Structure 1
């Protein structure tokens, strides 16, 4: 099968600063300030054309960071990422400009994707209709709720018909009816053989829609395989996680961070 995504030994490092002064000193002096934080550590992951892969994991596991790297929004610190085709990221307010209206954001985002003004004009009505924003389409996006931003971003991305669709918690906000309509649209993409990444805390949605699972845990790959192989293990972990006290969760995180450091050696 043809590979649509190849992620090889990818790590992403950020600097954590105590204050703005420390951040400024790190930029203007030779001495290193701040603490290194690895959101991802040596991630290996491949998706074949037509794969529908769910990214799962508790908060802070690196799901959104990896999604942004695959989409080309955030650069990796080390490693390589190969994407075979155009990728579109759908996340709440991703790529939307708050001072512009919804209509102006449609034009801007589509121009950035290489569409002509004539092509955008032809797509505009379909995008607006799918978003269900009505008269709000001519209001500044900064006045939108999270659900409205998500609907606009989703409507733009599915209408421009990318090769790879990355949905990052975009269906976790807004109303149930729109979420169901969006899932139906994603099923159409699935039938076309599009590659999709689905980031969600909804186990039910992941089980309903995905075929494979990438389980991330504090920046490392915990498991990767079919839904049938991985999801029972993840559900067992989540049941245990919910029973943990705050102290127990912190101890678990510290142990996970120790394992992450081994990946970086």
Structure 2
């Protein structure tokens, strides 16, 4: 089978600053400034054409961050990634300009993907019919409900005919009729051998639709394999997790993050120290000093 997605040691790091001045200090300090937060660490897996993969995990585990990386919305901090084909993310209001109308969003999205005006005219009625939001199609998206945004976003994305479809909780809003219509469209893609990633809190939908499961636990891959093998383990974890108090759940997350940090530090200690950041910090400091000196001499 042909590989459609390959991720090797993908990490996504964010910087957390307590105040704006720390952003500047982070640029010029050799050791950096601010607190590092790793949303994802060392994520590795492969997906083949025709795979339908459910991404599971409790809130705060990095599922949406992973979906944004897979769709190309945000880049990983480190690691290697191969995406063979066009990927489309479907999430509530993802990619929609709330100041534009629904119709204008359809036209803008199609133009950005290289569709001609003739192709857009032919495709637009199909998208509008699928979204089924009535006269709201000519109203600004900022006036839409979450369900209407989801309908429009789903309708636009599936009619772009992507090779890889990433659905992030887009079916968690809206009525059952629309959900059934979306699932039917996804089954069409499934029959065509497209790769689908499905994120949902509905375990029933997962079991019904997905063949594989990718379990993300606080930024790392906990398990990956056939749905029938992975889901029972996750369901047992959920039962135990729901019995915990809020404090116990928070403590579990903090311990998992601390363990991840410890493993990462151990790996970093084995790597040769990089001097690029130190050199850049020195260059920036020298430029600031020279600029200050020139301004002082010109006074």
State the partner residue of 1:170: 170
Separation in structure 1 between the aligned mates of residue 60 and residue 190 of structure 2, nearest angstrom: 28
State the partner residue of 1:183: 183
Contact kept? 1:103, 1:138, Cα under 8 Å? yes
1:108-123 alignment to 2 at 5 Å? 108-123=108-123
Q: Unaligned stretches of 5+ in structure 2?
A: 268-299
1:44-68 CA distance string (max 9 Å, x none): 0110000000000001111111111
Separation in structure 1 between the aligned mates of residue 90 and residue 11 of structure 2, nearest angstrom: 22
Separation in structure 2 between the aligned mates of residue 30 and residue 261 of structure 1, nearest angstrom: 22
- Shift in Å at residue 25 of structure 1? 4.0
Separation in structure 2 between the aligned mates of residue 206 and residue 17 of structure 1, nearest angstrom: 37
The size of the alignment, in residue pairs, is 264
Question: Of the two, which has the highest radius of gyration?
Answer: 2
- Shift in Å at residue 113 of structure 1? 1.3
Could you say what the CA RMSD is over the residues aligned between the two structures, in angstroms? 1.2
Moved more, 112-121 or 222-231: 112-121
- Shift in Å at residue 23 of structure 1? 3.3
**More helix by proportion, 1 or 2?**
2
Separation in structure 1 between the aligned mates of residue 205 and residue 259 of structure 2, nearest angstrom: 30
1:30-55 CA distance string (max 9 Å, x none): 36321000000010011000000000
Contact kept? 1:42, 1:263, Cα under 8 Å? no
State the partner residue of 2:279: none
Separation in structure 2 between the aligned mates of residue 240 and residue 225 of structure 1, nearest angstrom: 22
Partner of 2:178: helix, strand, or coil?
helix
1:63-82 alignment to 2 at 5 Å? 63-82=63-82
Separation in structure 1 between the aligned mates of residue 98 and residue 23 of structure 2, nearest angstrom: 27
State the partner residue of 1:260: 260
State the partner residue of 2:281: none
1:202-222 CA distance string (max 9 Å, x none): 111111100000000110000
Separation in structure 2 between the aligned mates of residue 263 and residue 112 of structure 1, nearest angstrom: 42
Separation in structure 1 between the aligned mates of residue 128 and residue 140 of structure 2, nearest angstrom: 15
Q: TM-score, normalised by structure 2?
A: 0.86
Separation in structure 1 between the aligned mates of residue 55 and residue 29 of structure 2, nearest angstrom: 38
